[in-house]
Each structure stands twice: as structure tokens, then as C-alpha cells.
Structure 1
């Protein structure tokens, strides 16, 4: 593993609501879970820091409402964060806090350096475009102009994610859930992004389809050496994919470490509960 992280995140905070004197100060915050009963502010992410290394899969696990999807949305610029900083190990952005960049620069990062696979394919795909048209859309956003070249890339990626090419002109709304997720993965890979975000990608899929999507993710990661952040409420998914894992509860990280270590010797009571429920 390289010493230099691909992505560094420090003290990320995201709150929904104005906060009040009872909850604004992080030290001695009086919350019920991650909610202030006085002013109704929700602290979705509280002081989250981590590094993602080249070629690493980082897992983020936690129950529904723990803040893991909000964290992903902040990292992919879908949500404005409240406080914090992040830097990407790319020469022209060296040392820059990407959260303070202009919208145009954030769009550039999304189009060239990040890929995202959403839990709900309707967020990541245009359902009335063809499967290959969805890939072309991402390529055009990243500066692609050569139609023949884009078609070759699109076909190659659809084959990689096991979408039959005779269906490439079909709209994703005519596909099964598992196929839609695979088209999303192909689209996310199309700009050769070094960082891929995967948010609950197997939720709602049949077990056999889940297994094939997870195999595909693992295979792609091995072949392309991409850094990935995988969010899931399912420890079995994290066990299969992640090298290291953060455990989140009520918007905060309660435990982190090598995935095997966390699964075999969980330290936090919440992680112990998660692990024992899996056994």
C-alpha cells in the first residue's frame, strides 16, 4: 500500500437544521442519538476523518440512519457539507480543500476523478436513455467528442459488466434491478475514475444477483486497481469486499480498522452487536 492517500477527509460535519446552544458545541452536545430535541437539528455526520489509499476498498457499515449515505453524498458533492475538508492526491489539486472549490471545479472532479453507483439506479441513470447512451453521457461530460471512440468504450464496458450487446440500445427501465446496477457500474467506470463510491449497491437485489454484482465489483477492482468506498448496512458485503472498515452509529465513527480484525475482535459494543447478529 502506498503511503500517500488517494483521498483524505478530515473533520467532516453535516447537519440538517440551524443548531442551538444545547447542541452547537461538539463537546457536551446534548443529543438523542444524532437529533437535538430542543431545536430539531439532525447531526447526520459528526467529525468524520479517514484516508483512502490507492487500490484499496474502504467499507463503511452501520444501521439505517447512521449517516453513511449522507457522507457519500457530501463526498460526491450531492450535498453541501457543514464543515470539514478533503484533498485528492492529484497534481493540479495538491493540498486543495475540494469542498471549497467552485461548482465548476467540483463538476470537473466528478466528471474526471470520481464515479458513483447509487442505491437507487434512478439517481444514477437516465431511464429514458439507452444503456450505451448513459455511458456516452458521462464520457461527454468528461470531454469526449469522438462518437466512434465512445461507442467502442461503451461496448467494452457493457461487456465487462455482463450486459449483452444486443440490449445496449435498450433503456435501463426495461432491465432488471441487477442489470440496472451493472449499467450504473459501467457508467461510473467510463471516465477511468481513480475513486469509485458505491452506496448500498446490493440492497433490494435477490441473493444470487447480489453475489454476481459483488463478484463483478471485486473483479473490476482487481483489474483496474481503483480505490473504492463501499457503504452497506450488511456486514457480509463488507466482509467480502473491504480491506479496512469504518463502523458508523448516529453520525459518528465508533470503530475503524482492518476488516478481518473488526470482524474477529470487535471493540465497540455496537460493532460487537453487529458482528454477533451476523453469526
Structure 2
């Protein structure tokens, strides 16, 4: 991977707070307990998050529960409004348009054509009562496709890619196991060939053997399609298996970033050292 290329995604000073803030915490973040203001109760979930994602790269984001990594993903996919910040995607508006300041209509366009997301809970990413192929068609229709034959062919192709037997394509995901539901979600997220795929804790709650299958599938898709991915996990084992570079988050901030191997072999902060030692 050539990091001298222009990044496909550039995020600059992304901030997300829950609550109005007060004189004390607005004046200085030093007064916070972790990422929480004891005075007014405001939570600073993301604080000045900046990073780049390159073409064909898997970027890992690791951190404990409450570190802000899932909030960051929700902001990137417009599931939550940001407080402030900028993000640029090279395949959208020549990479010169801050996607966060776009209209809700344009954000929908980005969501349907440029980004794909796989949620930790399949209930968030799938309609459990639709058929599996219907879930994929829904995403295609959102992006403006109207040709039923083409959509059916695309749906079959994707279900085969994620190892869902085609005789079950008319079945609803509510009848599937957790691992199969995640694979249907991945197929749905890939339906419009997005250049960027966001994966949020996709193996949490799955049995180890099922986890391994899902991770192998993600690797295979990335190799085959050359998609750029951001993979969030609290499990460093998952990050080690998938990612080229890694960001470590704690209390809403990035505390360390670098090549994954580098971070695993020579962690710089006490928190990352603790994470790495717990993996050994």
C-alpha cells in the first residue's frame, strides 16, 4: 500500500458531544473526568478525531467500551449529527466538499452510493422480516436502481459471495443464525460497490468459529474488491488479523496511531501496552 497517494477519506477534528457544555468544561477539557463533565453532565464522546484512510487499506480502530469509537462511526455514516469537524472523500465532490456540511439529501446520496456500513447488531442494518434478497434490493433501490432483473442478479451474486445458499434467499434474516445475519448485512452493504466500508464490532457476540468465518470473508472481500475499510473493535485479536494501520482510542481521543505491527510490537502508551499484554 502506498501511503504517498491521496487518502480516500480524510477526517479533521471531528467532535461529538452529548449535552450543552458549561463554562467549566467549555473553558478547558482538563476539568473532565475521563470524557465526562461532572459539573453539567456533558459527555465529550469524540474529541478532535483526525485520521486518513487510503485506497485499499483496512484501518483498525481499537478501544474499550465508551472510548468513542462507535460514536465516531455513527457520525461518519450520518447516523448522528456531529458537533463540529470536517471529512472529505476523494470520490465525492473531487475530495473538496466537507461531507458533514452537506444537505440531508446529499448525505443520503453519500450513504447510498459511497459508503457501506455493517452494524454490530444485525437488527440495525437489516429488516428482519424482509427476505434476504429483499434487503439487498432495498439498498439498491435507495441508490436509484429500478431494474428488477438486474437487482435480482446482483442480490444472488452477493449472497453467493458471502456464502448464503441461494435456496434461502427468499427467507427472512430473523430465521438465520447470528453469523448468517452478519453475512447478509455484509452483502447488503456491498450492493452498490461502495469505495468505503465501515464495520462496527461485527464479530461481537458470535461464537469463535463463526467469528473466524466472518473475518476470513472480510479479508477475502477486501482482497478481491480493493475496498477501503474502517474496522472498529474492542478486540485487538480482530484488529491484528485485519488491519494495516491502527488507531487506539480512549475517552473520546486518539491516543496512539501507527502501523498495526508497530503498535503490537512496541506500544507507546500505558493503555495500549495494557491492551497488547492482555492479548499475549
Preserved CA contact (<8 Å) 1:57 1:229: yes
Partner of 2:236: 235
Partner of 1:12: 14
Give the counterpart of 1:23 among 25, 34, 51.
25
Partner of 2:36: 35
Residue aligned with 2:182, SS = helix
- Paired with 1:199 and 1:91, the residues of 2 have a C-alpha distance of 23
Question: Which ranges of structure 1 fall in alignment gaps of 5 or more residues?
Answer: none
Q: How does 1:59-98 map to 2 (within 5 A)?
A: 59-90=60-91, 92-98=93-99
Deviation at 1:29, TM superposition (A): 2.9
- Paired with 2:231 and 2:59, the residues of 1 have a C-alpha distance of 6
- Paired with 1:109 and 1:93, the residues of 2 have a C-alpha distance of 13
Residue aligned with 1:178, SS = helix
Residue aligned with 1:85, SS = strand
Q: How does 1:167-186 map to 2 (within 5 A)?
A: 167-186=168-187
Deviation at 1:24, TM superposition (A): 1.0
Preserved CA contact (<8 Å) 1:22 1:29: no
Partner of 2:227: 226
Q: How does 1:90-239 map to 2 (within 5 A)?
A: 90=91, 92-239=93-240
Question: Which ranges of structure 2 fall in alignment gaps of 5 or more residues?
Answer: none
Residue aligned with 2:34, SS = coil
Residue aligned with 2:263, SS = helix
Preserved CA contact (<8 Å) 1:127 1:172: yes
Structure 1 residues 178 and 28: CA distance shift in structure 2, 3 A = closer
| Cα displacement string for residues 141-167 of structure 1 (whole angstroms, at most 9, x for unaligned residues) | 111111011000000000000000000
Partner of 1:264: 265
Deviation at 1:28, TM superposition (A): 4.7
Structure 1 residues 91 and 172: CA distance shift in structure 2, 3 A = closer
Deviation at 1:217, TM superposition (A): 0.1
Partner of 1:3: 5
What's the TM-score, normalizing by structure 1?
Answer: 0.98
- Paired with 1:182 and 1:170, the residues of 2 have a C-alpha distance of 14
Size of the aligned set, in residue pairs, is 278
Deviation at 1:92, TM superposition (A): 2.9
| Cα displacement string for residues 222-245 of structure 1 (whole angstroms, at most 9, x for unaligned residues) | 000000000000000000000000
Residue aligned with 1:48, SS = strand
Q: Which portions of structure 1, spanning 4 or more consecutive aligned residues, are displaced by more than 2 angstroms?
A: 91-94
Deviation at 1:21, TM superposition (A): 1.2
